Every structure is written in structure tokens, then in C-alpha cells.
Amino acid sequence: MISKVKKNFWHVELWVNIFLAGLLSVVLLIQYISGVAEPKKILIVSALLGFLPVLWAMGKAFWGKKLSIDFLAGIALVACFWGHEWQSAVFIGLMLAFARIFFLWTQAKEKKILDSLIKYQPKKIRVKQGEVIKEINLSKVRKGDLVVVETGDFLPIDGVVVSGQAGVNEAMITGESEIKLKKPGDWVFSASVNESGSLIVRAEKIGTESFLAKMIKLVDQASRKKAKSERIADKFTLWYVIGILALALVVFFIFKDFKVSLAVLLVACADDIAVAIPLSFTIALRPGC
């Protein structure tokens, strides 16, 4: 029930950000086409709507005692409000909405990849013991067991074909959907699919030693590397935020002009970094990459 709620919440969060990005895009487009310089109510309302998710993210970051990119973006937005730069505020909100969309999409792609791998791992398998065929849990299979693989079954373990022959699809391994004929003495891998025929396979690699288990482990390690990259980005963000705020203050004391300091914040606002990080992972997860 909890996982279902989380899944539904993810969909709601994604669609809210898509709606927000669409709304802000339309508002900026209308403003550009109309060429009206004075702030309209819709522009102000849109800027405030774009600020709400940033405010929420800032609150979560402060609660977790972490200085995030949203902090600098929040300061830039507040400065925009103070200086009545509503169009700039809407643009920053738009960029950050796209960043959240890319981040949520990346998470969904990761989950989809893991789910697609897990489906290749059956919970129950058939093992031949003497003249009897028993159905047992995959976790109970041992090296040397004779595993029966019928048409349509996923290969649950890595092993050697003892008897029978079948056309096996190794697309998950080779990336090609070519059916390969397997006969006694041939090696077969987990994550393959028996397209036609019947096999009895002697289990050689089971559990974490199997090809499929190693694939799942690699995906999990890739996720941790991504988290490590994000931590590096957070460290960069810490010094970046401090440096930009210090620069904005120095500029203000030199020129005594709030709008010049605001220009520094707008130019250096980290919304491009917020978009770049999840976008790079989204591109990396494209099919064929």
C-alpha cells in the first residue's frame, strides 16, 4: 500500500512540474509576442507559482542541514521579486521546473531498468531429482542441480546443457535477438529465454555468481556512482553559492546599485547547473547508450 502511494505521488509530482513548466513557457511566450514591458498579474502569479517548489526544496535542504542549488536560486528569485524583475523570476522558475522533470524522469528510467532485469529472475524453478521433477524456490537451488527449462521459461541459472536442445534468445547478453541452438555440452546464461524446445541444465553459477545477478549489481553500482556525482556537485554548489553571494555583496558595495547586484545573481544563478546534472543522466540512460 505504501509503495503504491509513493508511486502515485511520483506521478503527481511529475505532472505538476510538467504543468508548471508548460504554464511558465506559455506566459513567457505571450509576454515576448505582446512586447508589453509592464508586469501583468498573470506574470506575477506565475513567478510566485514557480517560487513555491523552490521554497519547498530550500526548506528540505535546510532541514537536512545541506546547502543546495535551490538556495542560490531562491535568493535570486527573492531578489527578482524585490526588484520587480518578474520576467526573470518566471524564467528561473521555468528552468528549475525542467530540472525537476529531468530528475524525476531519470529516477523512473532507473526503476524501469531494474524492474526489466528482475522479471528475468523467476521465483520458482523445476529441478530433476532422479526420476522426479520438483518445483522449488530459486534460492534453494545448489550447484550441480539439474534444472528443467521448458519453452517460454527464463534461464534461472548459468550452467551446462546436460540433455535436450532448444532455441535460446540471448538478447539480454549479446544485444541481438538471434535465436541460438543449444545442445548438450553448450553453456547457457541466466537472463536468456528458451524460445522453443526443452533443456536440462546442470547449475554451475547460482545466486550472486549468475550473469543476471551481476547485471543487477552493475546497475545498482551505477546508481551509487550517480549519487557520488551528485555529492561532488553539491560540494561544488556549496563553494559556488558562497562565492556568488560574496561577489554580489562586493558589487553592491562598489556600485551602490541593487540592480547591478541582481544582474550578478541572475547571470550566475545555478539553474543551468540544476538542469545539467539530471539531463546528463537522462541522456546516459537512453537506449543504445
pLDDT top residue among 172 and 80? 80
Which residue in 220, 218, 202 sits closest to 156, CA to CA?
202
**Would you identify the CATH topology of the domain 142-205?**
2.70.150
What whole-number distance in Å separates Cα of residue 109 and Cα of residue 284? 10
pLDDT tens-digit map of 109-123: 777 776 666 666 777
Backbone angles phi, psi at 150, to 5 degrees: -100, 175
Instruction: Say if residues 150 and 203 touch (Cβ distance below 8 Å).
Output: no
pLDDT value at 38 more than 80: no
pLDDT tens-digit map of 255-274: 888 778 777 777 766 556 66
DSSP type of residue 38:
S
DSSP type of residue 256:
-
Cell of 258: 541593487
Which residue in 44, 90, 109, 99 sits closest to 68, CA to CA?
99
* Partners of residue 262 on adjacent β-strands: none
Full-model pTM: 0.61
Every domain of the chain with CATH number 2.70.150.10 lies at 142-205
Amino acid at 3: S
